[in-house]
Amino acid sequence: MKKSPPVADWATDYDILDPDYAKDPLPVWRDLRARCPIAHSDRWGGSWMPTRYEDMQAFVKMVPALSSKEPIVVPPVKAFDPELDQHGTDAPPITSDPPEQIPIRRLILPFFTPKAVAEHRPFTEALCARLIDGFIDQGSCDAAVQYAQEIPSRVIGHMLGIDPARNDEFVGWVRNVLEFGLSDPEIRVKYRRVIRGFFADMVAERRANPGDDLISQLLAKKLGGEPVTDGMVIGMCNLLLVAGIDTTWSSIGAALWHFSCHPGDRRRLAGEPELFPSAIEEMLRFYSPVTMARVATEEIQAGNVTFKPGDRVLMNFPAANHDPEIFDRPDEVILDRERNRHIAFGVGIHRCAGSNLARMEMDVALRAWFARIPEFELADPDAVTWAGGQVRGPRNLPVRFKAG
Least distance in angstroms from the C-beta of 214 to ligand HEM: 9
Task: Provide, rounded to whole angstroms, the least separation between the CB of residue 120 and ligand HEM.
Answer: 11
Q: Which of 37, 235, 330, 346 binds ligand HEM (CB under 6 A)?
A: 346
Residue of 237, 221, 239, 217 whose CA lies nearest to 229: 221
Cα separation, 132 vs 154, whole angstroms: 15
d(CA 52, CA 46): 20
84/241 with CB nearer ligand HEM: 241
Nearer to ligand HEM, 7 or 223 (CB): 223
Under the binding rule (CB under 6 A), the answer on residue 317 touching ligand HEM is yes
Task: Count CA atoms within 13 Å of residue 281 on its CB side.
Answer: 13
| DSSP state string for 48-93 | EEE--HHHHHHHHHSTTTEESS----SS-GGGT-HHHHHH--SSTT
Binder of ligand HEM out of 320, 358, 364, 397 (CB under 6 A) = 358
Contact 292, 347 (CB under 8 A): no
Binding residue for ligand HEM, selected from 181, 235, 244, 330, defined by CB under 6 A: 244
String of b and e for 43-52 (b: at least 16 CB within 10 Å)? Answer: bbeebbbbbb
Q: Counting beta carbons within 10 angstroms of the beta carbon of residue 181, is it exposed (0 to 12), middle (13 to 18) or buried (19 or more)?
A: buried
Phi, psi for 388 (deg, rounded to 5): -115, -150
CB 253 within 8 A of CB 394: yes
Pick the closer one to ligand HEM by CB: 157 or 330: 157
Of 311, 299, 300, 302, nearest to 41 (Cα)? 311
One residue of 143, 353, 365, 373 binding ligand HEM per CB under 6 A: 353
* Residue 206 touching ligand HEM (CB under 6 A): no
Check residue 306 and report its DSSP letter. Answer: E
Kindly state whether residue 156 participates in binding ligand HEM, applying the rule CB under 6 A.
Answer: yes
Residue 374 makes CB contacts below 8 A (sequence gap 6+) with 266, 270
Among 203, 243, 256, 387, binds ligand HEM (CB under 6 A): 243
Question: What's the chain's Rg over C-alpha atoms?
Answer: 21
Phi, psi of 389 (to 5 degrees): 80, -130
Applying CB under 6 A, the span of 179-187, 192-200, 222-230, 339-347 interacting with ligand HEM comes to 339-347
Is residue 290 a contact point for ligand HEM (CB under 6 A)? Answer: yes
Q: Is 94 in the site for ligand HEM (CB under 6 A)?
A: yes
Window contacting ligand HEM (CB under 6 A); options: 207-215, 270-278, 288-296, 371-379: 288-296
- Whether residue 93 contacts residue 209, with contact meaning beta carbons closer than 8 Å, is answered with no
Q: 30: helix, coil or strand? A: helix
Residue 151 binds ligand HEM (CB under 6 A): no
50 touches ligand HEM (CB under 6 A): no
- Nearer CB in complex with ligand HEM: 260/288: 288
Instruction: Write the binding mask 102 to 131 for ligand HEM: x where contact by CB under 6 A, - elsewhere.
Output: ---x--x-----------------------
Give the residue closest to ligand HEM by C-beta: 354
* 87-91 contact pairs (CB < 8 A, 24+): 87/231, 87/235, 89/231, 89/232, 89/234, 89/235, 90/192, 90/235, 90/238, 91/235, 91/236, 91/238, 91/239, 91/242, 91/243
Q: How far is the CB of 238 from ligand HEM (least distance, A)?
A: 10
Residue 350 interacts with ligand HEM (CB under 6 A): yes or no: yes
71 touches ligand HEM (CB under 6 A): yes
68/176 with CB nearer ligand HEM: 68
| Of the residues 66, 127, 195, 357, which one makes contact with ligand HEM according to CB under 6 A | 357
Per CB under 6 A, 354 contacts ligand HEM: yes
Q: Out of 131, 141, 239, 384, name the contact with ligand HEM by CB under 6 A.
A: 239
Among the candidate windows 23-31, 77-85, 191-199, 242-250, which touches ligand HEM by CB under 6 A? 242-250
**Closest CB to ligand HEM among residues 28, 254:** 254
Q: Which residues here bind ligand HEM, judged by CB under 6 A?
A: 68, 71, 93-94, 105, 108, 152, 156, 239-240, 243-244, 247-248, 251, 289-290, 292, 315, 317, 344-346, 350, 352-354, 357-358
